[in-house]
Chain A
Amino acid sequence: MPQTTTTSGQYIHIPFCIAKCSYCDFYSVTDRSDTFDRLVAALQVEMELRAAAGFSGLVDTVYIGGGTPSLLEPRQLGTLIDALDRAVGLEAVREFTVEANPGEAPPDKLHGFRQLGMNRLSLGMQSFQPDLLRFLGRIHNPEDNLRTFEAARGAGFDNISVDLIYNIPGQSIQTWTADLRTVIGLAPEHISAYSLTVEKGTPLHQAVEQGDLSMPGDDLDADMFAATRDILGAAGYRPYETSNFARPGRECRHNLHYWRIEPYMGLGPSAHGFDGQRRYWNMADLDKYLDLVEAGAIPEAGSERLTPEQRQNERLAFGLRLEEGLKIRSIQPDMTTEMFIERYSRQLRKWSHCLELSGGRLRTTANGAILADAIAADFMTESAAAGQTDD
């Protein structure tokens, strides 16, 4: 059981979209507005089931994501929030995010969200180039980006995050940096800048597999990654995670729970959760999810209890993505810096120009952030051996 001092996050997945984007592998369905109320009811049942099963940790963040949660009416979201408050208690919540797509969240809806206590808005702008938005299968246009941003400010959101995508076929480094400058001009508190990844099962993947399309390639991808850090850094956004940038103090606390391997409860179809020991994932199928929950069952598709080795691997994999780095004691409570240096001497030597070890933490340097996965996989070869001797 997590100790009572631990804080935790609360995630709710709303699996509805108006149209499916070509690159997206999140679980979401279209044309199911008839099921909105049924889902809201099922989510209430699931949160009661999970709370009854004993999920502790003081909830300090809530994140309603998707899909497109802004498709729900404030009334429906309000029902959910009340239920959540009863089930897990929301008095300690400091950050409450909802995702919205530009053009799909009119001002009155945004007002409604603010009224419900949501204090952070994540806007999926993705691009300011009409052709790229079309390529991505987005149904909004650049003007929607601006309009919805203004509306959000008008509704009182003083903590807004903007999502952008680079490494898109057809995108040049010039159009990308222009998009970055446009966003900087809007002055959001937080920016997520993702390199487009080809995920299995998406139309994008199919096109690449069939040779109809080729991705920009490693070199351009790396150049854009570096340009992003330079430009956003100069504008006062710190790269506190691989793809996430924030004004000081505006880091996404909810996502930090994930990256620091802290607990979070996940609700809804395909949602994942972690209670500090066990990770679970729900059915990624709306109807199966509804049937199970309505029958009073926990709608899980699978789960795993982490071994000490897996836990170490997670800390390595995610810690190295963070600007704050990896706390050495989080690998093993009694681990000193000396012990760490001894165990990972080979890796530390190999990646010396990419890493920095100080204050009991291991961090990637500006050179290293772009290679974090390769570095983590290398460090894992040691934790495996160490994990075995621990048993």
Chain B
Amino acid sequence: MVKPPVCNPNARNFCIIAHIDHGKSTLADRLLETTHTVSSKDMQKQVLDDMDLERERGITIKSHPIRMEYSHTDGRTYTLNLIDTPGHVDFTYEVSRSLAACEGALLLVDASQGVEAQTVSNAFLAMEHDLHIIPVINKADLPNAMLEDVTAQIVDLIGCSEDEIITASAKTGQGVDQILATIIDRIPPPRGDGAGPARALIFDSTYDSFRGAIAYIRIIDGELPKRQSASFFAHDRDYEIDEVGIFRLKREPREKLVAGDVGYLIAGIKDVKFLQVGDTITLSRSPAREPLAGYKPIKPMVFAGLYPVSTDDFENLRTSLDKLRLNDASLAYIPETSVALGFGFRCGFLGLLHMEIIQERLEREFNLNLITTSPNVEYEVVTKDGGAITVDSPVDMPHPGSMQEIREPYIAAEIITPPEYLGGVMKLCQEKRGAYKDTHYMSANKVQLKYEMPLAEVIYDFFDRLKSVSRGYASYDYELIGTRPGALKRLDIMIAGEIVDALSIVVHTDHAAAHGRSLCKKLKEVIHRQQFEVPIQAAMGSRIIARETVKALRKNVTAKCYGGDITRKRKLLERQKEGKKRMKQVGQVEIPQEAFLSIMKVEPGD
């Protein structure tokens, strides 16, 4: 491949890739400080993560690019654009688009932890994008730093030479100048054709209630001046560009952006869905003929029903989802009705973390009280008459008799663990229907394991289980590798003889009986005694595979109630009443919220 011409020799576009907690945000802060982009006085820790949730969870959800100036030892001043990348597998596609906006990457590895799963997956992504990788061992100041071992792991991973690896501490500042100098010396200046028809890559977007949707872009070819009409490859609408600019701590307007620049574009766009990550922006007047490579529409991977606890909140939930979607084009939802839960939405998420974040934001920022049904993947069903349908809710599974085959999404999982936990990890993967592929020793105390597994098996509690079998040492990452047929069946839960649609799940036939049993047991614990005996049954088709019984309520009356007890007693009953309002009535039976939550936590054999 012929490399396109260099367009801005004094600019460097790079990102930092790392496993979670290896110090990405801390290093970013240090870089901003060292380049005087932020004065130490204003230095708010981890300036780049400005959403509360991100702070708490310590992960970056939205990228926040920033531009720095650095005077190099060669006497010239360089412009450095740091593009922060999301740090979670759910957002792999966004990561890949951020990488596509760069020419180089700092690969940061914690000196006390060594290479972890996301180090590996991110390093591979960076190599796929042909980025120049600068390996950095961070936290060298820690007394338990294992410099030698970690060096061996990095060499094994990216095939660099030992002396290319920078030893640094984002905490003490050790190695930070060397990192900046190396960025300039080793990362190539932006590639692109400054004179060609304009092409800009959208690598992220955000929503501003005053300005509308804002695209984060990297100009690859040509230039984007304001007041021109911009067109997009992913849809047919054109928009007049109101403003373009670069990122300091805040947005800074410019007359135009040119090839090599990283910046933003505002064009009176009301909806982020017109700013699809990976899409190419060009100018309507003299459009480029080909879009940039790599665009794909974002597809949700994990689905769940979201229902307001109080039915009055349905409209509220809709407007809240609408608001969240303004900033998150990957969130998909359509109204859905459940016999048990009433009106709600079937939502599609990029992954489980994405789902948890959305759920948490709805509850926190919009004050909603929600019931989430058990998450599931999207199934492809081939019917006997040769048709194919996709099913993203267990309730929609067609009758078994009409199905030829069910296909489910598969992932290639890569797990990194100290060798002593290998046995436990392998046992877990097997239990999760994993097919063993490969083992590779990265260094004396790091083994890399590869498995192919159904996505459905990892969206429950795989991560927690992995952490517990490895005392927290194993890490994992995955990528989707397509769909495969599986012996899958729908498992229904009947309470007092009625199917509770919101509790149905799709399971593998081998796990069905055990799963059914533990579900029934769990439900027995959370469904309180009713006036009548309540049978809880798990059924596959018409076959009952497990059963438990909640005994009838025999006594529920306070013994002593006198003058001093009236207020207390009333309050007690009022609390009971509030609890009742939060329950869902299915037939004669009141089912508490925990029932719907507990189903997510259940594993066969529990």
**B547-591, CB under 8 A of A: which get 1 and which 0?**
000000111111111111011011001101100110000001000
Please tell me which stretch of A87-95, A103-111, A333-341, A364-372 contacts chain B, meaning at least 4 of its Cβ atoms lie within 8 angstroms of it: A364-372
| Most chain A CB neighbours (cut-off 10 Å) among B553, B554, B574 | B554
Known contacts A377-B577, A378-B580, A381-B577; is-contact A279 B557 (Cβ 8 Å): no
Bound Cα distance from A147 to B560, whole angstroms = 26
Given contacts A194-B560, A370-B556, contact A377 B573 (CB under 8 A): yes
Chain B residues positioned under 8 Å from A11 (CB to CB): 563
Q: Which residues of B contact A377 (CB under 8 A)?
A: 573, 576-577, 580
- Whether the Cβ atoms of A371 and B570 lie closer than 8 Å is no
On whether the beta carbons of A273 and B561 are closer than 8 Å, the reply is no
Determine whether A178 belongs to the interface, using a CB cutoff of 8 Å to chain B. Answer: no
What CA separation (Å) do A242 and B565 show in the bound complex?
14
A380-B573 in contact (CB<8A): yes
Cβ-defined contact, A243 with B562, below 8 A: no
Task: A222 to B563: give the CA distance in the assembly, Å.
Answer: 25
In the bound complex, do residue B574 and residue A371 qualify as a contact, i.e. CB atoms below 8 Å apart? no
Shortest distance from the beta carbon of B391 to any chain A beta carbon, whole Å: 35
For the residues of A in contact with B, the DSSP-based class is helix
Complex-state Cα separation, A272 to B562, whole angstroms: 9
Give the segment of A112-120, A153-161, A179-187, A314-322 that binds chain B. A314-322
Q: Which of B556, B563, B570 touches A273 (beta carbons < 8 Å)?
A: B563
Given known contacts A271-B564, A279-B566, A374-B553, A380 and B558 CB-to-CB distance under 8 angstroms: no
| Alpha-carbon distance A314/B562, docked complex (angstroms) | 12
The answer on a CB contact under 8 Å between A381 and B580 is yes
User: How far is it, in angstroms, between the C-alpha of A380 and the C-alpha of B559 when the chains are bound?
Assistant: 20
Residues of B within 8 A of A271 (CB): 563-564
- B531: CB under 8 A from chain A? yes
Shortest CB–CB separation between residue B435 and chain A, in angstroms? Answer: 47
Interface residues of A in 30-76 (CB under 8 A from B): none
- Chain A residues near B581: list those with CB within 8 A: 381, 384
The residue that B560 contacts in the complex, of A222, A243, A313, A350, with Cβ under 8 A, is A243
Q: Is the CB of B561 within 8 A of A321?
A: yes
Do B564 and A272 touch (CB < 8 A)? yes
Whether the pair B574, A313 counts as a contact (CB closer than 8 A) is yes
Size bracket, chain A contacts: 35 or more
A310 at the interface (CB under 8 A from B): yes
- Interface residues as binary, A248-288 with B (CB distance below 8 Å gives 1, 0 otherwise): 00000001001100001010001111100001010000000
1/0 contact string of A352-391 vs chain B (CB within 8 Å): 0010000000000000011111101110110010000000
Contact across chains for A266 and B556 when beta carbons are under 8 A apart? no
Could you tell me the distance between the alpha carbons of A318 and B558 in the complex, rounded to whole angstroms? 11
Quick one: CB contact mask for B15-27 with A, threshold 8 Å, 1 for yes? Answer: 0000000000000
Choice from A243, A314, A350, A378 contacting B588 with Cβ under 8 Å: A350
Query: In the assembly, what is the distance between CA of A314 and CA of B577, in Å?
Result: 13
Closest B residue to A194 by beta carbon equals B559
**A373 partner residues in chain B, CB cutoff 8 A:** 556-558, 573, 576
Do residues B554 and A313 form an inter-chain contact, with CB atoms below 8 A? no
| Cβ–Cβ < 8 Å partners of B555 in chain A | 195, 218, 221-222, 225, 370-371
Q: Are A281 and B567 in contact (CB under 8 A)?
A: yes
A274 and B577: CB pair below 8 A? Answer: no
Give complex CA distance A218, B551 in Å: 11
Give Cα distance in the complex from A359 to B70, angstroms.
91
Is A171 located at the chain interface by the 8 A CB criterion?
no
Cα distance A9–B563 in the bound complex, in angstroms: 10
| In the complex, chain A residues whose CB is within 8 Å of the CB of B531 | 350-351, 354, 371, 374
Which of A195, A374, A384 counts the most chain B CB atoms within 10 A? A374
Q: A270-B564, A271-B564, A304-B567 are in contact. Are A376 and B559 (CB under 8 A)?
A: no
> Nearest Cβ in chain A — how far from B89, in angstroms?
44
Residues in B whose Cβ lies below 8 Å from that of A378: 577, 580
Contact of A219 among B554, B577, B580 (CB under 8 A): B554
- For A219, the chain B residues whose CB sits under 8 A away are 554
Taking the closest CB of chain A, its distance from the CB of B381, in whole angstroms, is 39
Q: Is the CB of B561 within 8 A of A310?
A: no
Can you identify 25 A-B contacts, CB atoms within 8 angstroms? Answer: A195-B555, A196-B559, A218-B554, A218-B555, A219-B554, A243-B560, A259-B561, A271-B564, A272-B564, A272-B566, A279-B566, A281-B564, A313-B577, A314-B570, A317-B570, A350-B531, A370-B556, A371-B556, A372-B556, A372-B557, A373-B573, A373-B576, A374-B531, A378-B580, A381-B580
- Please name the 3 residue pairs, one residue from A and one from B, whose CB atoms are nearest each other, closest first: A222-B554, A377-B576, A374-B556
Which A residues are within 8 Å of any B CB, using their own CB? 9, 11, 26, 194-197, 218-219, 221-222, 225, 242-243, 255, 258-259, 264, 266, 270-274, 279, 281, 304, 310, 313-314, 317-318, 321, 350-351, 354, 369-374, 376-378, 380-381, 384
**Beyond A197-B559, A259-B561, 8 additional pairs, beta carbon < 8 A:** A279-B567, A313-B573, A317-B573, A321-B561, A370-B554, A370-B556, A373-B558, A381-B581
